[in-house]
Amino acid sequence: MDKKLILVSLVFLLLATFIVLLLYQDHVKVTANVIKNETVQEIPEDLEVSVGKSFVLKLGQSASINAAGLHIHFLNITEDSRCPINATCIQAGHATAEIEFKKTGGKSAIVRLSNANSNETSTTAELFLYKLKLQDISPYPILNETIPLSNYNITLMITR
């Protein structure tokens, strides 16, 4: 008898949990800017850029600095919590880009650069005797609009 009671109690508990989760889903609204994951259909052409000059990369695009033997590839936007236009926010938030930084000869590193310095993120990374600075992430979020991942661009500069 005790085993039957335990089994019935477990079934009831699982059913109640399932019902609560279904009801809870209806009450959850995501008001923050959400990055929409999608497959990048068209990979933009690689750029040839110079040390000390700003350049813009689209998601999936690469840039080479042949004179320095460097190659940069814009991999992903891992976070975009910037306060949307037409919204009232307690904090400004930040956006973070994931970038692969390679030196000719095989050495490489993946760095995450943010549009704001904090304890966890930075606007710059120093690798292979060069400094990579994130100057901008665009587009800027607009309230109640989702930014497709493929629409993101980053503005970078490489210096010595």
Per the model's pLDDT, the better-predicted residue between 18 and 126 turns out to be: 126
pTM for the model: 0.70
pLDDT one-digit tens code per residue, 85-122: 989 999 888 999 999 999 888 788 999 999 887 777 78
Give the neighbor-by-neighbor strand order of the sheet with 124-127. 55-58, 153-159, 130-138, 124-127
Q: 3-state DSSP call for residue 135?
A: strand
Contact 120, 60 (CB under 8 A): no
What average pLDDT does this structure show over 3-10? 72
Residues with Cβ within 8 Å of 47's Cβ and at least 6 positions away in sequence, in order, are 55, 57, 61, 62, 63, 64
